[in-house]
Amino acid sequence: MIHAARRVTGLETCVDGIPMHGMLDQQILAAMLRNAGLRDAAIRRAMPEIRRHAQMYYVRGCPSLERKVCPGVRRLLGKLERAGIPMGLVSGNFTRIGWKKVERAGLKRYFGLAAFADMGKDRAALLRLAIRQARRRGWITPGTRVSLVGDTPRDVEAARANGVMAVAVATGLCTRDELEAASPDIVVDDLRSLPAEALYLV
């Protein structure tokens, strides 16, 4: 994003002082540009081109992320797949960046739908969009348990805003205490201690 902001605006930006965990890519970019002195109207005008360049740059240079996958993720996704549970991705990244990340991590095949940063204004809106997609596909009905697994208080807030179960995992930048303060339904140190059945059995 720093590279794309420089290319489009000529400004040198950084993420220092920006609480990025749980923010969407466009929110982070806007904060970076604001800190560099750009006004909101100019940020709005520049954002589509910055987003385009950021995605092109990331997709071209993304390394393998197979070793970056958090503990328990593959095991949990495999169990959910074997149980026939449909899974979607709700990501704060722009679309091409988000898909490239899960592809390079070797996880893309698990996710049948996704909602990314350029599809909504915040995480709650993205989750709402993903739920609508799942309903249209017949994946869920009014009685289906829907769970959002995330690693920031913003993920817990998004789950609450949509009336779904909030599962917080302390493998990101937030501590377990910070996650517990957001009052999720479940909080775990990592996904090795989360039973797959907890996500879908009512």
**Domain boundary pick from 20, 37, 61:** 61
Return the ∠ at Cα 94 (arms to 185 and 170), rounded to 5°: 30
What would the DSSP string read from start to end of 141-183?
A: -TT---EEEESSHHHHHHHHHTT-EEEEETTSSS-HHHHHHT-
Say if residue 79 is in the same domain as residue 29: no
pLDDT of 64 above 90: yes
Say if residue 88 is in the same domain as residue 132: yes
At 152 the pLDDT is 97
Q: Within 10 Å of residue 109's Cβ, how many Cβ atoms?
A: 10
Quote the CA–CA distance of 181 and 195 in Å, as a whole number: 22
Quote the CA–CA distance of 27 and 91 in Å, as a whole number: 13
Quote the CA–CA distance of 32 and 13 in Å, as a whole number: 6
pTM of the model: 0.94
**Domain boundary pick from 14, 40, 61:** 61
C-alpha 160: how far from chain center: 16
Say if residue 17 is in the same domain as residue 101: no
Model confidence over 77-102: pLDDT tens digits?
999 999 999 999 999 999 999 999 99
Model confidence over 148-200: pLDDT tens digits?
999 999 999 999 999 999 999 999 999 999 999 999 999 999 999 999 999 99
Q: Which CATH number do you get for residue 178?
A: 3.40.50.1000
At 50 the pLDDT is 98
Say if residue 90 is in the same domain as residue 28: no
Say if residue 173 is in the same domain as residue 121: yes
Half-sphere exposure of 25 (CA within 13 A, CB side): 27
At 41 the pLDDT is 98
Angle between helices 2-9 and 25-35 (to 10 degrees): 50
Structural domain total, the chain: 2
Query: How many DSSP H helices and E strands does the chain contain?
Result: 8, 5
Say if residue 153 is in the same domain as residue 111: yes
pLDDT of 202 above 90: no
State the residue range of the domain holding 53: 2-61
Per-residue pLDDT, averaged over 19-41, amounts to: 96
The percent of residues in the chain predicted with pLDDT above 90, rounded, is 99
Angle between helices 25-35 and 40-61 (to 10 degrees): 120
Model confidence over 124-133: pLDDT tens digits?
999 999 999 9
Say if residue 89 is in the same domain as residue 157: yes
**Domain boundary pick from 61, 76, 101:** 61
Say if residue 11 is in the same domain as residue 85: no
Say if residue 8 is in the same domain as residue 52: yes
What token pair was written down for 37? 């002195």
Per-residue pLDDT, averaged over 129-141, amounts to: 97
Say if residue 75 is in the same domain as residue 45: no
Say if residue 34 is in the same domain as residue 81: no
Say if residue 83 is in the same domain as residue 151: yes
Question: Rounded mean pLDDT of the chain?
Answer: 97
Residue whose C-alpha is closest to residue 199's, from 85, 92, 42 = 85
Could you tell me the sign of the dihedral formed by the alpha carbons of 5, 51, 14, 69, in that order?
Answer: negative
Residue with tokens 């910070």: 178
